[in-house]
Structure 1
Amino acid sequence: MIESIDKKLAVPKKSKINNLVDQLYNDEKLKFREQLATARKINLGLDIWTKRGLTASFLAISACYFCPQEEKAKHILLNLVQLSHPHTADCIKTCVDRCTQEWGIPKNKILTVITDNGSNMVAAFKDNEQDDHSSTEEEESQDDSEEDSENGEDQSFFFLPRFGALERMPCVVHTLQLVVNIIQKEASVKRLLDRVRLLVRLFRKSSVATEQLLKLSGLTLIKDCPTRWSSTYLMITRLIDLKDSLNQVADRMGWDCLLPSEWQRITTLRDLLLPFAEHTQMLQSDTMSLCLVVPALLDLSAHLSEFSQANGTSHKDFTSLAKKMKANLDQRFSCFLNPSDSKFSPLASAACFFDPTVSAYALIENDDEHINPLRSTVSPAIPARFFFISVK
């Protein structure tokens, strides 16, 4: 590059480039500070992840708000902080306080803080006056996505406890994945998935098998990961898509492949998980997601009911699994779907009315038995500021 440019050009030094980068950063930061100052309400998003080998951990703090100048919802990264162990609630709260002070965000402007269901996140934004009883059940976070453990989980996590002016709302998708993880606890399904993982591992360790599979299909098998959303669904979907090529390569290599009955069960499992993968993809969007929560939950509940009826005699273990998943779904999201729940919040239902693409189907023209109670709880008196994510 140096040889091809004009010889008279003075190549800037390292300090010059650093100064230009710093100036660009400061200009952009000033622009976003002005936008945050004009925003009526701001949502904060928090997430912690750890590098492989546990060599370093990081806390990301982002902001979601409606920008009046650009007339659209925006999502920006405010800060990325390297954390030292242990990741205590006080450490998290201190980082959030420093970040909001740096960006000039007053606490009364923060609508809610969205986090995973880790016990440290729950404690960081817990009201000191809350009953200590609610803190005895909590969930743990692991690896880079702080995977939620179901051992001792907090069943009341959707209640919005106050910490000063801050309210906490757990991530709906994180919670949805806890429902999906029930499949790992069903003995017959776990055995089936172990067979699939063994086959996938066998192919991925063989360069010969992988090359032959690529020649036949142009694709390779996917290995699932417990800290990746919908990874089990993606693994079995790719396996089914490559079924014919997979059998050919397995025959050439002299390996045992899945039995016809196992292929049939894998297909049934894929059908069970498909709506969860679709709604996970939709709900993990940066901004326009609050109005989609209730329609997604109602659709998943209906899917699990229909699945149980359709597979009542052919696959009893899958039928039992679907019933368990539905009960778990109803329990975890009762604060959004059950008006009689002591911690019911009408925010998600009310948000549907502010999005014309979902309001008619979700709460107005829907004849589902669960809709009428939800519709009656949505009061016009609820301040519109709660729905800034869903409206202009």
Structure 2
Amino acid sequence: MVITGHWIDSDWKLQKRVLSFVHIPPPHRGVEIASSIFKSAKEWGIEHKIYSISVDNASNNDVAVRMLKDDISRSKKLLCDGKLFHVRCCAHILNLVVQDGISEIVDITKAIRDSVEFVNRSEGRALMFAEIAQQLHIPGKKLLYDCKTRWNATFEMLNCAIKFKDVFPRFQDREQSYDFCPSAEDWKKS
């Protein structure tokens, strides 16, 4: 776990620092997470300066934040009675929303991901794919892989692959073992 601190300095500039790297062996229970955060804050001498904590939406983090809120509120009054103490991570929320949207085209995304992997798995296939792209006057680099759990990586893979949508059917004509080419309708949906 990485613990970071954000604050506004005396010149009203946002400051950010990594406060600690903590190894928490599984299972990652809220008790251990809270203890690690509090220990790090104490080592930095900021345990009485914490106004909010931002974590993703895992239930163990909810437990950790609840425990920290209770511990900190015993020694000082929290801003807005602690209503702003637990701040959900906007990036995590955005990721959940986009992943939900991507789930609507999961079969199409899988076909494109499998196509990218198939082409890139062999230097000969990648070369053949690049030659077809060149014949069609399609500029661009090679196809990009994605990380299934990161929506932005999936977006980049789809964004790159869609530029080559006319290459895939021609590639399928030349490569007989490639039998999962996305259809024209799939490209419209992606």
Tell me the TM-score range normalised by the shorter chain.
Answer: 0.7 to 0.9
Alignment map for 1:43-122 (pairs within 5 Å): 59-68=1-10, 71-107=12-48, 109-122=49-62
Cα distance, 1:238 vs. partner?
Answer: 0.8
Aligned to 2:189: 265
Q: 1:125 to 1:102 in 2, by over 3 A?
A: same
- Cα distance in structure 2, aligned partners of 1:260 and 1:84: 47
Q: 1:93 to 1:80 in 2, by over 3 A?
A: same
Aligned to 1:173: 91
Cα distance, 1:185 vs. partner?
Answer: 4.3
- Cα distance in structure 1, aligned partners of 2:130 and 2:3: 41
Opposite residue 60 of structure 1, the aligned amino acid is V
SS of 1:125's partner is: helix
Cα distance, 1:225 vs. partner?
Answer: 2.2
Aligned to 1:50: none
Opposite residue 176 of structure 1, the aligned amino acid is L
TM-score after normalising by structure 1: 0.40
2:66 is equivalent to residue 126 of structure 1: yes
Aligned to 1:162: 69
Opposite residue 118 of structure 1, the aligned amino acid is A
Question: Structure 1: 5+ residue runs without aligned partners?
Answer: 1-58, 128-160, 267-392
2:151 is equivalent to residue 225 of structure 1: no
Aligned to 1:361: none
Residue correspondences, number: 171
Cα distance, 1:112 vs. partner?
Answer: 0.5
2:99 is equivalent to residue 192 of structure 1: no
Question: Is the 1:92–1:121 contact (alpha carbons within 8 Å) kept by the matching residues of 2?
Answer: yes
Opposite residue 44 of structure 2, the aligned amino acid is W
Higher RCO, Cα 8 Å, sep 6+: 2
- Cα distance in structure 1, aligned partners of 2:185 and 2:28: 46
Q: 1:228 to 1:82 in 2, by over 3 A?
A: same
Question: Is the 1:213–1:219 contact (alpha carbons within 8 Å) kept by the matching residues of 2?
Answer: no
- Cα distance in structure 2, aligned partners of 1:116 and 1:171: 5
- Cα distance in structure 1, aligned partners of 2:166 and 2:146: 21
Question: Is the 1:63–1:77 contact (alpha carbons within 8 Å) kept by the matching residues of 2?
Answer: yes
Cα distance, 1:62 vs. partner?
Answer: 0.5
Cα distance, 1:260 vs. partner?
Answer: 2.0
Opposite residue 160 of structure 2, the aligned amino acid is R
SS of 1:225's partner is: coil
- Cα distance in structure 2, aligned partners of 1:125 and 1:263: 43
| Cα root mean square deviation, aligned | 2.4
SS of 1:111's partner is: coil
Cα distance, 1:120 vs. partner?
Answer: 0.9
SS of 1:77's partner is: strand
- Cα distance in structure 1, aligned partners of 2:16 and 2:130: 39
Cα distance, 1:122 vs. partner?
Answer: 0.7
- Cα distance in structure 2, aligned partners of 1:263 and 1:185: 16
TM-score after normalising by structure 2: 0.77
Question: Structure 2: 5+ residue runs without aligned partners?
Answer: 74-81
Aligned to 2:78: none
- Cα distance in structure 2, aligned partners of 1:222 and 1:89: 37
Given candidates 207, 220, 225, the residue that maps to 2:123 is 207
SS of 1:64's partner is: strand
Q: 1:213 to 1:72 in 2, by over 3 A?
A: farther
- Cα distance in structure 1, aligned partners of 2:149 and 2:188: 27
Given candidates 101, 107, 115, the residue that maps to 1:183 is 101
Opposite residue 68 of structure 1, the aligned amino acid is S
- Cα distance in structure 1, aligned partners of 2:185 and 2:25: 50
- Cα distance in structure 2, aligned partners of 1:119 and 1:111: 21
Q: 1:226 to 1:122 in 2, by over 3 A?
A: farther
- Cα distance in structure 2, aligned partners of 1:191 and 1:85: 33
Alignment map for 1:4-19 (pairs within 5 Å): none
Cα distance, 1:247 vs. partner?
Answer: 4.3
SS of 1:94's partner is: helix
- Cα distance in structure 2, aligned partners of 1:213 and 1:62: 44
